[in-house]
Amino acid sequence: MSRQFSAKILLFGEYTVIRGGQALALPYPAFSGEWTTDPIAKVDWNPLIRFLLGHPELEIDVKRLELDVERGGGFRSSIPQGKGLGSSGALVAGLLAAYGPQREWKLSDAHARLAGLEACYHGQSSGVDPLVSWVGKPLLLSGQGGPQIVDMPTETWSQLDRWFLLDSGVARHSAPLVAVFKQKTENPDYKAALEYLEALVGEGIEAYEHLDEAMMGVTMEALSHLQFATFEEMIPPNIRAIWAQGLETREYALKLCGAGGGGFFLGYRLKSCPTGALKF
């Protein structure tokens, strides 16, 4: 039970994937969790156990889980909750590995099973968050087909130190924001912005894949301007001020990291400044 399951970041494609566009999701091993039989801080696992007892088709060894929990074990995690980094996804990915059927899983089968497990926490789940944690590799998503594992130069990007996370300090609630986005899509005047957004997502994924810092800077700056103007409901007031500062100074560009509204936001350094040079 010692396998670690990382957090995830939706690098590109928030909202556009709902319309059948592309998205790129990455594992984020700076935060992770694992199921353990060692004593950890007390957590009420009864809601999860009741859910699993009501869904025997998910094939989780509930009896063994109950025994481990009674002994003080559970899911030990450093992933911040409610921040958009996939804390529940990592939990259910670990749950399937530790207490599920021990067999080789096809990607599509694991995806479906993980979506069913995460329904305990979200009512309905796309299964993407836990699948990223499960495979531990980048996933290319499209509304037209299932997720695909792709090779991406994530370690090299990390060494370049261009990307950073900014915590808004605000709780996030995705469902109301998704409803706002769907309302926007019904407005014909919004069509051009959506098409531009989808084009920028494609350019961002291409720049990331080819390790093109110049193209990434241009794309991120354009994406930041577009989201700042069209996704105002998804950006808390304290983040809007920092967002505007980045656009004005051209030192960095911010974008949504998932649904927005709170939690973490994603930044890209437009200039090669040291990590500590950006003061928020």
- For the chain, 280 residues long, the average pLDDT of each consecutive 10-residue run is 88 86 93 93 92 96 96 94 90 97 94 93 82 96 85 95 93 76 82 91 97 96 95 92 96 92 94 50
pTM confidence score: 0.89
Radius of gyration of the chain from its Cα atoms, rounded to whole angstroms: 19
Q: Provide CB contacts within 8 A for 44, sequence distance 6+.
A: none
Rounded Cα distance, 32 and 180, in Å: 31
Judge: domain 5-149, CATH 1.20.1090.10. Answer: no
Instruction: Note the pLDDT tens digit of each residue in 209-265.
Output: 999 999 999 999 999 999 999 988 899 999 999 999 999 999 999 999 988 888 999
Fold observed for domain 154-277: Alpha-Beta Plaits (3.30.70)
What is the pLDDT at residue 174? 72
Which residue ranges make up each domain of the chain?
Answer: 5-149, 154-277
Burial track 264-274 (b if 16+ CB lie within 10 A, e otherwise):
bbbbbbbeeee
The predicted structure's pLDDT at residue 260 = 86
What would the pLDDT profile of 150-167 be if each residue is shown by its tens digit?
Answer: 999 999 999 999 999 999
Q: Virtual CA dihedral for 51, 86, 32, 278, nearest 10 degrees?
A: -160
